[in-house]
Structure 1
Amino acid sequence: MRRLLALVVIFVAVLGLTALGVWQVQRLMWKTALIETVNARVNAPPQPLRAGPDGWPAFTAERDEYRRVTLSGHFRHDKETQVYALTDLGAGYWVMTPLETPDGLVMVNRGFVPTDKRDPATRAAGQVSGEVQVTGLVRLSQNKGWLFSQPNDPAKDQWFLRDVAQIAQARQVAVPGWFIDAEAAPVPGGLPQGGLTVVRFTNNHLVYALTWFTLAGGLAGVSLWLSRRGRRKDGN
């Protein structure tokens, strides 16, 4: 009786582990397709970004994030916001500045500045005036951070998330709920430094799938061994 119960438990465990393996295979297929889609977007020729009759488009992550676009206007440096950033270049800030276009304002992440260059006065040459052309990637508003990231504190002008709606409210500007990550481009003085968008996805689903299938196979082997051992005992 105990052997039968053990076999039933093992059988259920094998089914569960196999289901987890199949799920990871499905996740692998989804992640692979996502990576291919994003790679195609970031390497495509930039498309002009214009507002339609109903205003700026409502972008979604599945359809639009990391699309490469281009638009022209002039920066509203008086509405600049510096958002804390930890990049391959070290700690510093993203420079978020509204770009005034013929169709309205759009928030642009102009790029990275080190901590000692947070104050725009320390990088005055980079506060370009006149019309500029911005090419970059569509990004959705960053409403959630990592596990230990701090929330924004608009009252103290301390920013840790590129939350477009919150920044727009603090700066009293009307912008759509997404922003443009500017590509690397020549800037007087070299700052802000664009082109630091991280387009990298972890894809460990194959390893996870093999782990679950291996465990399922191991338990199936144990089940077969117990079954044969039981039959030999019964035969004796």
Structure 2
Amino acid sequence: MKAGRTARGLAASGERADQLPTISDDEGDIQHRHPIKLTLIGCLIVFCIIVLTALGIWQLERRTWKLDLINQVDQRVHAPVKQAPGPDLWAEINAKDFAYLHVTASGRFLDKPATLVQAVTARGSGFWVLSPFQSNSGFTVLINRGFIPTEKAADGWRPNNLSFTSVSGLLRITEPAGGFLRNNDPTSNRWYSRDVAAIATTQSLDVSAPYFIDAEANAAHTQLPIGGLTVVAFSNNHLVYALTWFGMALLLGLAFILIGRNELKARRRFKA
């Protein structure tokens, strides 16, 4: 029976308004709720909970992987020094197994101008000084001799010592992608990342290693460039991300329970 009957209709039927059955707001809502829509909403919430939970589990797995990586790198950094990998190992060079390996190379610096790569360090903005080094093993490797401030960039930075020497430091993987929103421009000699292949081509280097070496600090050397500024750090926010995803899944779960409970209460009142 419709609640919206007019006064004329009531008079014609001889019924009084206070004798008509009334429909409460809750009952009206129940009558107009489509069971298919409620089912779809419930399925959508359950699907979102599953996805959010899966994302949380994935972040926990990523955290385990990151902690293992940090442990491996820490062991490499503090391990006894090894010879820099020669051409027979270059095909195997990768970030997972070789990044930050403590290495040494014996030979001499080539008499070539250094390649300056823009850098931001704990000492401020400036440049990394990369110079080609001819090893006794017959190959060339780029050595990051260290950091110089911006105002010192015009000094040329050819190596002062061209005699045979040894350089120790950390093996670093090439950076071919350029800097953030900045691409390397070899023709203008503007470098924003340490792209080994591009620098080697610009310097006309033969048999050049696909990596470079960050020279370690030398206590007896107090002049520029400043070595030993390699930052060995990895962001590890995976636990925070995991808790965020799990928290969102929990909130959706609580919302699903509350909606379901209110729906059941409303239907019980309607049936009563």
Normalized against structure 2, the TM-score is what? 0.79
State the alpha-carbon separation in 2 of the partners of residues 182 and 138 from structure 1.
9
Superposed displacement of residue 199, structure 1: 1.0
Helix, strand or coil: the match of 2:163? coil
Q: Deviations over 1:93-123 (max 9, x none)?
A: 11111111111211111111112222345x6
Helix, strand or coil: the match of 2:248? helix
Match in the other structure for 1:172: 204
Q: Does 1:229 align with 2:262?
A: yes
Q: Deviations over 1:25-64 (max 9, x none)?
A: 1111111111111111111121122536x47564111110
Superposed displacement of residue 186, structure 1: 4.2
Match in the other structure for 2:135: 101
Uncovered stretches (5+) of structure 2, i.e. residues with no partner = 1-34
Q: Is the 8 A contact 1:3 1:226 kept in 2?
A: no
Instruction: Decide which moves more: 1-10 or 178-187.
Output: 1-10
What is the one-letter code of the residue matched to 2:171? V
Match in the other structure for 2:234: 201
Uncovered stretches (5+) of structure 1, i.e. residues with no partner = none
State the alpha-carbon separation in 1 of the partners of residues 168 and 196 from structure 2.
19
Q: Whose relative contact order is higher, 1 or 2, with alpha carbons under 8 Å and at least 6 apart?
A: 1
State the alpha-carbon separation in 2 of the partners of residues 225 and 218 from structure 1.
11
Helix, strand or coil: the match of 1:196? coil
Structure 1 residues 133 and 57: CA distance shift in structure 2, 3 A:
farther
Q: Is the 8 A contact 2:179 2:192 kept in 1?
A: no
Counterpart selection for 1:212 from 222, 245, 249:
245
State the alpha-carbon separation in 2 of the partners of residues 188 and 41 from structure 1.
24
Q: Deviations over 1:187-229 (max 9, x none)?
A: 6551111111111111111011001101111111111112222
State the alpha-carbon separation in 2 of the partners of residues 57 and 120 from structure 1.
36
Counterpart selection for 2:186 from 154, 159, 182:
154
Match in the other structure for 2:150: 115
Q: Is the 8 A contact 1:139 1:178 kept in 2?
A: yes
State the alpha-carbon separation in 2 of the partners of residues 5 and 156 from structure 1.
60
Counterpart selection for 2:106 from 72, 75, 96:
72
State the alpha-carbon separation in 1 of the partners of residues 38 and 60 from structure 2.
33
- Fraction of identical pairs, as percent: 38
Match in the other structure for 2:94: 60
- For 1:44-55, list aligned pairs within 5 A: 44-49=79-84, 51=86, 54=88
CA RMSD of aligned residues (A): 2.0
Match in the other structure for 2:224: 191
State the alpha-carbon separation in 2 of the partners of residues 50 and 24 from structure 1.
34
Q: Is the 8 A contact 2:126 2:148 kept in 1?
A: yes
Number of positions where the alignment pairs a residue of Structure 1 with one of Structure 2: 232
Q: Is the 8 A contact 1:38 1:66 kept in 2?
A: yes
Match in the other structure for 1:43: 78
State the alpha-carbon separation in 1 of the partners of residues 212 and 171 from structure 2.
6
State the alpha-carbon separation in 2 of the partners of residues 56 and 181 from structure 1.
18
Q: Deviations over 1:149-203 (max 9, x none)?
A: x222222222222111111111101211111111111465511111111111111
Structure 1 residues 147 and 80: CA distance shift in structure 2, 3 A:
closer
Match in the other structure for 2:23: none
Normalized against structure 1, the TM-score is what? 0.90
What is the one-letter code of the residue matched to 1:226? I
What is the one-letter code of the residue matched to 2:186? P
Superposed displacement of residue 142, structure 1: 0.8
Q: Is the 8 A contact 1:27 1:205 kept in 2?
A: yes
